[in-house]
Amino acid sequence: MPTRGDAPPPPRRPQARTRLARAAVVEAARQLFLERGYGATTVDAISTLADVPAATVYRLFSSKVGILRALLDVSIGGDDEDVAVAARPRVRALTEADDPGEQLAGFVGLTVQINTRVAPLYRVLVSAAGTDPDAAALLADLTRQRQEGQRVIVRALGRRGALRPDRRAGEAADLVHALLSPEMYRLLVIDRGWAPERYERWLRETLADQLLAPP
């Protein structure tokens, strides 16, 4: 029988257990979605691999597309914190930076990191969106969020008078959206074999040339 000094540690709080369960489900879903595809993966299979009861999985995520959304959120943010990328300190610091070139380079670096984490899952989502209306709605929502986030940097450059005089804000946002897209990352890094560092350097140079006014 343990003495007072040898008392066992207190049980984990419900919030901590919930976070562990969410993390286990998300990681199991990542493995199965990449191995089998979205359509062939069932919630029961995720539940079994995660060792989390199916009822708990549905309580935490509501549906299979809810699990995919959570998985993408973790991959985009790089952690399980419930904070949008645009509201994170690093992004806020970039929008407030004094040097337009520093703003653009920092935004490019952040996007390349996100695309590196998300690229395999983005292909799963695009494939699922072709047959699943809920996945299609998720894809549309994530695309909208990405566009809104990209407009933040364009507006920041515009406020400083850093955009080329012949480049309208809407056109600048279109260029950012296309060049920083997961599709462009996949085309050059995955399909054509560019190193992420080369891709990032090319993006910095190309966007600076296309967006920034001459010094």
Residues 58 and 104 in one domain: no
Q: Are residues 97 and 165 in the same domain?
A: yes
Shared domain check, 144 and 45? no
> Is the per-residue pLDDT at 166 higher than 80?
yes
Nearest CA-CA partner of 102 in 160, 141, 57, 45: 160
Residues of the domain holding 100:
83-215
Instruction: List pLDDT tens digits, range 171-185.
Output: 999 999 999 999 999
More confident residue, 91 or 199: 199
CA dihedral 67, 116, 107, 145 (to 10 degrees): -30
Find the angle CA(112)-CA(143)-CA(85) to the nearest 5 degrees: 55
Return the CATH number at 141.
1.10.357.10
99 and 184 co-located in one domain: yes
More confident residue, 35 or 91: 35
Distance CA 32, CA 40 (A): 9
The Cα–Cα gap between 148 and 125 comes to 20
Mean of all residue pLDDT scores within the chain? 88
**101 in the same domain as 46:** no
Please determine, for residue 12, whether its predicted confidence score (pLDDT) is greater than 60. no
Q: Which whole number is the average pLDDT over 199-203?
A: 96
**DSSP E strands: which ranges in the chain?**
none
Same domain, 100 and 28: no
Among 61-65, 81-85, 109-113, 142-146, which is the least confidently predicted range?
81-85
Which pLDDT value is given to residue 40? 95
Other beta carbons within 10 angstroms of residue 132's beta carbon come to 18
- pLDDT bin (cut points 50, 70, 90) of residue 188 is very high
Q: CB pairs under 8 A, 24+ apart, for 3-12?
A: none
Confidence of residue 9 (pLDDT cuts 50, 70, 90): low
Apex 49 CA angle, 33 and 35, nearest 5: 25
* Residues 142 and 89 reside in one and the same domain: yes
Give the 3-state secondary structure of residue 27: helix
Q: Note the pLDDT of residue 5.
A: 47
Whose tokens are 């989390």? That residue is 52
Range of lowest pLDDT (40-54, 90-104, 124-138, 200-214):
90-104
CATH number at residue 27: 1.10.10.60
Per DSSP, what are the bridge partners of residue 163? 212
Separation of alpha carbons 63 and 76, rounded Å: 20
Query: What are the pLDDT digits (tens) for 60-100?
Result: 999 999 999 999 999 988 876 766 666 677 777 777 778 88
Q: Is pLDDT of 4 > 50? A: no
Instruction: Quickly count: other Cβ atoms within 10 Å of residue 5's Cβ.
Output: 5
Shared domain for 64 and 96, answered yes or no, is no
Q: Are residues 40 and 101 in the same domain?
A: no
